[in-house]
Homo-oligomer: A and B are copies of this chain.
């Protein structure tokens, strides 16, 4: 199985309103809820691709119970979340019916106690032996040490399990120094990590800082990869219009599935780019459109070169 870690899980709630106007009252016409947090999104896409996935991280309170109830109904996903006392956060996306624009309200994460953090580390170590790959995804909730991902990367590497890290800021900086196999920053995260706004230089610099491979997501322009085996750029056929929520998580799922299937890098990047674009094209935020995905697979253009052996 593939293990995805979401330390800051969420109950993602979407509200439809006619038009959001500050300091007035709104009737919500439609409410949808689903389990969220980056690693949970990655797991859902991996499961849709036919992989067995185990989800770990934290769950607490009434919102955590809803997250777990909903996860139980996703085929192919096993729930190995670790209980905490504080409640799992909610995120609320308020979508305007008229414009389709979204206003986002993100609750702060729950505070994790030192004992809960220890319990998670034990659960993580117990899950690793049966994992073919690990994805460490998203922000850290309060109480989890800033070096958390660095420690989790080291534990995975000691166990010989390939590890992907998708986070930002100081947790990314420290995590990279622990030498993860792969990181997937967006351009902002990459610039913050390296100080360079030139993606080609920045991906190389991030490798020097410790990442085995770097796949930067360039939004509508696709992916840029710097790896031991070579450098590539994968471009979708045309800019896809839609909701970019979850596009990065779909790219992570594509990269991970390609990794455990031992695909060559150009094929991994094609898959990740097609999944990402098919997620933007899907009507529901964070889902991918299966038809669009299959069509896009034949349309992604990969340029670049393998390193001299």
Least CB separation from A93: chain B residue: B25
Q: How many copies of this chain sit in the oligomeric assembly?
A: 2
- Whole-angstrom distance from the CB of A112 to the nearest CB of chain B? 16
- Whole-angstrom distance from the CB of A245 to the nearest CB of chain B? 11
B103 near A22: Cβ-Cβ < 8 Å: yes
B106 near A27: Cβ-Cβ < 8 Å: yes
B27 near A108: Cβ-Cβ < 8 Å: yes
Query: How far does the alpha carbon of A63 sit from the alpha carbon of B62 in the complex, in Å?
Result: 7
Q: Contact residue range for chain A? A: 20 to 34
A15 near B96: Cβ-Cβ < 8 Å: no
A24 near B107: Cβ-Cβ < 8 Å: no
- Whole-angstrom distance from the CB of A194 to the nearest CB of chain B? 24
Contact of A23 among B25, B63, B65, B101 (CB under 8 A): B101
B23 near A105: Cβ-Cβ < 8 Å: no
Least CB separation from A27: chain B residue: B106
B66 near A25: Cβ-Cβ < 8 Å: no
- B residues within 8 A CB of A21? 22, 103
- B residues within 8 A CB of A28? 105-108
Flag whether A17 is at the interface (Cβ < 8 A): yes
- B residues within 8 A CB of A106? 25-28
- B residues within 8 A CB of A24? 103-104
Q: Which of A54-94 contact B (CB under 8 A)?
A: 62-63, 65-66, 69, 92, 94
- B residues within 8 A CB of A17? 105
Flag whether A307 is at the interface (Cβ < 8 A): no
Flag whether A31 is at the interface (Cβ < 8 A): yes
Most B C-beta atoms less than 10 A away, residue of A17, A22, A69, A102: A22
Least CB separation from A108: chain B residue: B28
The verdict on A22 contacting B96 (CB below 8 Å), with A62-B63, A62-B65, A62-B66 known, is: yes
Flag whether A158 is at the interface (Cβ < 8 A): no
A-B contact pairs, 15 of them (CB 8 A): A17-B105, A20-B103, A23-B99, A23-B103, A25-B106, A26-B103, A26-B105, A27-B106, A27-B108, A28-B106, A31-B108, A62-B62, A62-B65, A62-B69, A92-B92
Q: A24-B103, A26-B103, A28-B105 are in contact. List 10 more A-B contacts (CB 8 A).
A: A17-B105, A20-B23, A21-B22, A21-B103, A22-B96, A22-B101, A24-B104, A26-B104, A62-B62, A62-B66
